[in-house]
Amino acid sequence: MQALSHVTICDLSGQLAGAGATRYLAALGARVIRVEDPVRQGAWDIVRGSPPYVDDRRGMELGGGFNNHNVEKLGVTLNLRLESGRDLLRRLIAVSDVVTENFAAGVMTKLGFSYDEMRSIRPDIIYVSNSGFGHSGPYANFKTFGPVVQAVCGLTFGVGLPDAPPAGWGFSYMDHMGANLMAAAVLAALAHRNRSGEGQWVDMSCTEAGLGLTGPDLLDYTVNGRPLRRPGMPDSNHSDNPPMAPHGIFPTDEEDRWVALACRDDVDWVAFGTVCRASWADDARFDTLAGRLEAQAELDRLVSEWTSKHSRHQVADMLLAAGVPAAPVAMSEDRIERDADNAAWGLFPTVDHPVIGDVRVDGIPAHFSQTDWRIERGAPLLGEHNREVFCELLGLTNEEFTTLQEEGVF
């Protein structure tokens, strides 16, 4: 038995921000039934047939990111343009605890599945929608994807050198964090239903969720009137709160290979000096944090000169051994193929996919002593579980199934 074995989710979500939420719940045992459009061959989900690929084959069943984000789910197809398709969705909702989606606001209502409609099918249904701006407010109809979400919510602004153009996030960070918070919303609503018997609609705006990830900077603004848009910002490799120096990412003896290090306090600085053994490390100006912050640019230059003589692993190993925080800036292969902790954790399990074959995917960063996660099965093919869901779960006869199939419902 797993933690969510008794939970059934009717999952209309996709892309990464939606699929990432239900993948977590599926790994913890929930029966997640992913509903896709047979007419467009699931193409609403832009990652379904997108790179990366394991080999030269291309197609809607071969998207590596799609497989990664849809492990352990069941896949069905339903043509919701047809009344018989909508009828089957109603029957699916009737046996589900949760409905999830991440369409633009208004799409579900247009399909005839507003929260009120769903509640009339199943009174304690939990409906979690994750859209860019939520279902109310002046921007409710604006459309987003990860890069737009993180731009609008202030996260992109917070990555970069001082007074330089934003470097931003080199991936859809908010697809991950949006997915995580969406999963938390499902779980919170389940906990509430367990206590009160009532379901509800959870309206999540991904940009709002992202804005909440800038908390202390926002309070500095509301309390002290200090905006983050000010000279010298965002300066995100340095640390203003708490102040530390040195604190940054430094070059090494190999091109484009880097090491991160920081001295949290004067104790770390003394330890740094014993490792580095350069004369400047004894410079009295650097004895105090205030002095090191005052001369931070010069200090960064001196630290860079030292780190440039060593490999990223040498610098990190020497400093960590002395109790100073340090780590190589890991490339994909460093942490996926050569990290003992990730291996021991089982962080990249192998799944079996009927078309792609065996391939590794992301695991779950929590281990449960009694009900641990399980990721063994790859993403579903389009409509792979139609019979299992529509016949075994919803009770269609074989004849009914065949008739609907001929009508183009699946």
Partner 1 sequence: MSGSLHGVRVIELASLWGAWSAKLLGDLGADVVVVEPPGGHFTRSFGPFVNDEPHPDRSLWWWYYNTSKRSVVLDLSSPRGAEHLRQLVADADIVIEGEKPGRLAALGLDHSDLRAGHPELVWTSVTSHGRRSTRSAEPWIDLTLAAASGLAWLNGYDDHSLPPMRGRGSQTLQIGGVHAAMATLSALIHRDSTGAGQHVDVSVSAACNVTTESGTFVWLVAGQTVQRQTGRHAFITPTMEVQGQAADGRYITSGFLPQSAQDYEALLVWLDELDLRETCPEVFFLELGVERGGINVSKDFGDPEVLAILGAGRTALMHIAANIPALDFFEGAQGRDLQCGIIFSPEEAYENRHFRARGFQVRVKHDELAREVDYPGAPFKMAASPWAISRRPPLVGEHTEELLGIPRTTDAGGESRS
- Indicate whether 51 belongs to the interface with partner 1 (CB under 8 A): yes
* Binding letters toward partner 1, positions 253-272, x by CB under 8 A: ---x-xxxxx-xx-------
Identify the bridge partners of residue 10 per DSSP, sorted by sequence position. 33, 99
CA–CA separation, 187 vs 30, rounded Å? 11
Q: Among the candidate windows 132-140, 274-282, 376-384, 394-402, which touches partner 1 by CB under 8 A?
A: 132-140
- Indicate whether 389 belongs to the interface with partner 1 (CB under 8 A): no
Q: Among the candidate windows 34-42, 246-254, 285-293, 393-401, which touches partner 1 by CB under 8 A?
A: 246-254
- Binds partner 1 (CB under 8 A): choice among 310, 363, 394, 405: 363
The residue type of 102 is: N
Nearer to partner 1, 82 or 140 (CB): 140
Nearer to partner 1, 299 or 361 (CB): 361
- Indicate whether 157 belongs to the interface with partner 1 (CB under 8 A): yes
Nearer to partner 1, 192 or 387 (CB): 192
Nearer to partner 1, 3 or 394 (CB): 3
Q: Among the candidate windows 272-280, 281-289, 331-339, 389-397, which touches partner 1 by CB under 8 A?
A: 331-339
- Indicate whether 241 belongs to the interface with partner 1 (CB under 8 A): yes
CA–CA separation, 388 vs 395, rounded Å? 10
Q: How many residues does the chain have?
A: 410
- Indicate whether 368 belongs to the interface with partner 1 (CB under 8 A): yes
Of 77, 271, 239, 11, which Cα lies nearest the Cα of 249? 239
* Binding letters toward partner 1, positions 198-217, x by CB under 8 A: xxxxxxxx-xxx-xxxxxxx
Tokens at residue 279, please? 């004369």
Burial of 213 (0-12, 13-18, 19+ CB in 10 A): middle
The CB-of-118 to partner 1 minimum distance in angstroms stands at: 13
- Bridge-based pairing of strands 31-36 and 74-77 is parallel
The CB-of-91 to partner 1 minimum distance in angstroms stands at: 25
Of 276, 273, 305, 275, which Cα lies nearest the Cα of 287? 273
- Indicate whether 335 belongs to the interface with partner 1 (CB under 8 A): yes
What phi and psi values does residue 35 have, to the nearest 5 degrees? -100, 125
- Indicate whether 138 belongs to the interface with partner 1 (CB under 8 A): yes
Of 78, 5, 65, which Cα lies nearest the Cα of 35? 78
Q: Among the candidate windows 282-290, 320-328, 381-389, 397-405, which touches partner 1 by CB under 8 A?
A: 320-328
Neighbours of 232 (CB within 10 A): 9
Sign, CA torsion 290/294/295/296: positive
- Indicate whether 275 belongs to the interface with partner 1 (CB under 8 A): no
- Indicate whether 297 belongs to the interface with partner 1 (CB under 8 A): no
CA–CA separation, 347 vs 163, rounded Å? 38
CA–CA separation, 68 vs 16, rounded Å? 10
- Binds partner 1 (CB under 8 A): choice among 40, 285, 290, 345: 345
CA–CA separation, 336 vs 93, rounded Å? 39
The position carrying tokens 């910002």 is: 233
- Binds partner 1 (CB under 8 A): choice among 180, 311, 314, 405: 180
Asked if 72 and 398 count as a contact pair (C-beta separation under 8 A), the reply is no
The position carrying tokens 């959870």 is: 202
- Indicate whether 252 belongs to the interface with partner 1 (CB under 8 A): no
Strand residue runs (E) in 225-356:
247-251, 258-262, 326-328, 350-353
Question: Could you tell me how many residues of this chain bind partner 1 (CB under 8 A)?
Answer: 154
- Indicate whether 13 belongs to the interface with partner 1 (CB under 8 A): no
- Indicate whether 187 belongs to the interface with partner 1 (CB under 8 A): yes
CA–CA separation, 193 vs 184, rounded Å? 14
Q: Among the candidate windows 59-67, 106-114, 280-288, 378-386, which touches partner 1 by CB under 8 A?
A: 59-67
- Binds partner 1 (CB under 8 A): choice among 137, 162, 354, 395: 137
